[in-house]
Amino acid sequence: MSDLPLSPVSPIARPGWASRVPVPVLLAAAFLAVLAFSMAFPRVVTPYDPLVSDVAHAMQPPDATHWFGTDRIGRDVFSRVIYGARYSLLIGLSSMIVSLLVGLVLGVTAGLGRRAVDEGASRVFDVLSAFPPVLLSLFVVTFLGQGIVNMAVAVGIAGIPKFGRVLRSQTLGVRRADYVTHAVTFGMSRARVFVRHILPNVLAAVPVIATIDIGSAIIAVSALSFLGLGPQPPTPEWGVMLAEGRDVLRVAWWPSVFPGMAITLTVMAFSLIGKFLARVYGVRTR
């Protein structure tokens, strides 16, 4: 795996390290930085409370006082998008952690173990991925009931096979690497090899894999919220906002377009950064 980015680099003059990073990735990082700042300090970014409604100014198109306009009951859409980032991102993150933890355990076990263990774990992944992720999440929610935690668990379960397979493949790759072979040849015990060499190298891949795939968790969470199975109004979660804006879509596009754009841009940004890091650090993505 080459450690140089494969996409052409734009010849704009930039400080040393940044010259090896493609422009789209830099933009993505900047976007996420701004988003993170807004999530942490929303009051700096917007003076409006996302739950306060000003019915006299309901359904105003975007203008100088309300950058993204106001929704059906007069709430400022921009501040709802900013505050909503917390919900969408944090719930997405939690569900991804669920997928990651289970996927890690299963994937590493599969990558390390004998053929039978590997086959077994792979069957588990096959079974889980035989159910379309959306339907699997719906199935889990049917039992657990609606709500934020249940939804995060449901999305998390649906994401297990993806992480499991990638981590298995990463484990297999590390296992066959030179430094591991050397360690084994020199008599290091299997356990020490695992703890000293395999585990750290697999875990090192986790943040990169997470960055690439958190986007799908965010989309899945907002989809279930859109369907009404997650946070309830007036929570400004992005999927909920899209559901609320639907009925008046014909006369007011802004309560729906902006939250959706937020989701798309966030997911794109994570994808770009994650894929770049994968190329740089030689992490398998499949």
Partner 1 sequence: MVRKIVTRLLTGLLVLWLAASAAFVAIHALPGRIEDVLAGDLSYPGLRESIAAQWGLDHSLPWQYGRFLLRLAHGDLGISFVMQQPVLAVLGSQLWPTVQLAAAAGVLAIVLALVVATSTAGFSGGAGAWASRIASTLELAFTSTPVFWLGMLLLIAFSFHWRLFPVSGAAGWCALVLPAVTLALPTAGVLSQVMREALETTLDKPFVMTVRARGVSEAALRVRHVLRHALLPVVTLGGWLIGGLLGGAVITEKMFGRPGIGSVTLAAVTSQDVPVVLAVVLLAAFVHVVMSTLLDVAYLFIDPRLRNS
Partner 2 sequence: MKAVHLSLAGLAAVAFVSILSGCGKSDSAQTGLSAQAAKPVSGGTLTWGVTTEPACFDPHRSSQQNAFWVERNYIDSLISKKTDGTYAPWLAKSWSVADDGKSYTFNLRDDVHFTDGTPFNAAAVKANFDYILNNVSTTSASASLLVHYDHAEVVSPYVVRLVMKQPDSTTLESLSSVKLGFISPKALAENHDLCGGGPGVVGTGPFVFSAYQRGQAAVFARNADYRWAPGNAQHQGAAYLDRVTYRFLPEAAVRTGALSSGQVDLIEGVQPTDASVFDKVDGFQYLTGPSATTSFTLNINYTVAPASDVRVRRALRDGFDLDAIVKSVYLGTVQRAWSNIGPDNADYNAALKGSWGNNVAAANKLLDEAGWTQRDSEGFRTKDGKRLSIEIGYPQPYVRDSRDVLIRAIQSALRQNIGLDLGLRINTAGDFANEKATGNWTIYPNTDNPSDVAMELWDMLGDQGFLYNAIRNPDPTITDAINRARLLPVGDARRQLLADVQKRAVDQAFIVPLFAPAYHLAAKSSVHGIGFEPELDGPASSYDIWVDKQGG
Report the residue from 26, 73, 227, 277 that binds partner 2 according to the rule CB under 8 A. 73
Determine, following the binding rule CB under 8 A, whether residue 247 of this chain makes contact with partner 1.
no
C-alpha closest to that of 218 among 77, 104, 85, 101: 85
The answer to whether residues 78 and 232 touch, using CB atoms and an 8 Å cutoff, is no
Q: Quick check: 209 binds partner 1 (CB under 8 A)?
A: no
Reduced to 3 states (helix: H, G, I; strand: E, B; else coil), residue 76 is strand
Could you write out the DSSP letters of every residue in 236-263?
--HHHHHHHHGGGTTT--HHHHHHHHHH
Cβ proximity to partner 1: between 141 and 198 the closer is 141
Query: Binding residue for partner 2 (CB under 8 A) from 34, 127, 144, 249?
Result: 249
Q: Is 8 in the site for partner 1 (CB under 8 A)?
A: yes
First to last CA, the chain: 14
Taking CB within 5 to 8 Å according to partner kind, which of partner 1, partner 2, none is near residue 77?
none
Identified binder of partner 2 from the candidate list 21, 45, 58, 268, rule CB under 8 A: 58
**Binding string to partner 1 for residues 212 to 231, with x set by CB under 8 A, is what?**
---x---x--xx--xxxx--
Total residues binding partner 1 (CB under 8 A): 49
257 lies in the site for partner 2, by CB under 8 A: no
Bridge partners (DSSP) of residue 70 are 76
In the complex with partner 1, the residue whose CB is nearer, 168 or 197, is 168
66 binds partner 2 per the rule CB under 8 A: no
Half-sphere exposure of residue 252: CA atoms within 13 angstroms, side-chain side: 24
Contact 170, 284 (CB under 8 A): yes
Which residues between 96 and 135 bind partner 2 (CB under 8 A)? none
Give the Cα separation of 7 and 105 in Å (integer): 34
Q: By 3-state DSSP, what share of the chain in percent is helix, strand and coil, each rounded to 5?
A: 70, 0, 30
- Rounded CA-CA distance 247/244 in Å is 7
Residue 193 CB, nearest distance to partner 1 (Å)? 31
Q: By CB under 8 A, is residue 160 in contact with partner 1?
A: no
Q: Report the candidate in 88, 104, 108, 239 with the shortest Cα–Cα distance to residue 159.
A: 104
- The reply on whether position 260 binds partner 1 by CB under 8 A is yes
Q: For residue 52, state whether it binds partner 2 (rule: CB under 8 A).
A: yes
d(CA 240, CA 206): 30
Does residue 233 touch partner 2 according to CB under 8 A? yes
Q: Which two tokens stand for residue 48?
A: 């409006």
What does the block give as tokens for 203? 């875990």
Q: Considering CB distances under 5 to 8 angstroms, the limit depending on partner class, which of partner 2, partner 1, none binds residue 73? A: partner 2
Q: List contacts with partner 2 (CB under 8 A).
A: 49, 51-53, 55-56, 58-59, 72-75, 232-234, 246-252
Q: List contacts with partner 1 (CB under 8 A).
A: 8, 24, 123, 126-136, 138-143, 145-146, 215, 219, 222-223, 226-229, 239, 242, 245-246, 249-250, 253, 256-257, 259-261, 263-265, 267-268, 271-272
